[in-house]
Amino acid sequence: MENAHLRLGLLEYVRLTEKASTRIRLRVDRYVGEDRQAHLLSVFGNDSDVGAITAAIHEKATFSITFPNGAEKEVSFGEHASCYKGAATLPGRKQPVRHLIAVSQHLHANGSAGQTILLRYEREEAWATLAKFLGLPADPRWAEHILRIIESKRKVEEIDGIGCGPVQISATTEEVLEWVSEGLRTGSLSFPEQAGPIIWPHYALNRVLQAW
């Protein structure tokens, strides 16, 4: 990808002890967060640095995130974050690059507290995600109507992101069901003409990430 390095962020972690100080810096290709709360982090580096960051996340440490535009923010994952590690072999490099993905407890329970985080905002994708996470009886054709209501109520909020354009939608199951019921009563929405399963479009993760 041309100029991909310009779209990367920087994670910096400093640990001070009585005997020494440690400073670790890793490149960030994906990040999602709200203010000081980190929700998703994807970084890569050598084995020791990735291991140290993994331990620091479990210790609820605070990190400094530098965004591609130069803005900086202090963030933390808080309680019960999950870490997933892997490795990638690159041409011309003897040792594999270590990769870490960290996910907050809040993101693991995405949608359950009436707040749903998306990597990007498109109405059809947003509606499919809300229907799944909120357990809604829904039809793909209802996307435009319901999301217009959500937008008019200013329930879509842009949040911090690197390598994606994340938003948070604040809507509970009860609220959305009320909007669906009203739409069916007024004729703005309709049930399928034939009984049978609802076929939803397939949205691949790589399609979402490639847009960035």
Q: Which helix (H) or strand (E) holds 130?
A: helix 123-133
> How many contiguous H segments (helices) and E segments (strands) does the chain have?
6, 11
CA distance 64 to 90: 27
- The yes-or-no verdict on residue 133 having pLDDT over 90 is yes
The mean pLDDT of the chain is 91
Per-residue pLDDT, 201: 80
Per-residue pLDDT, 6: 64
Per-residue pLDDT, 22: 85
State both tokens at 212.
């960035």
CA distance 112 to 137: 16
- The yes-or-no verdict on residue 1 having pLDDT over 80 is no
pLDDT in tens, 158-212: 999 999 999 999 999 999 999 999 999 999 999 888 887 888 887 777 766 665 6
pLDDT in tens, 41-77: 999 999 999 999 999 999 999 999 999 999 999 999 9
Q: What is the pTM of this model?
A: 0.88
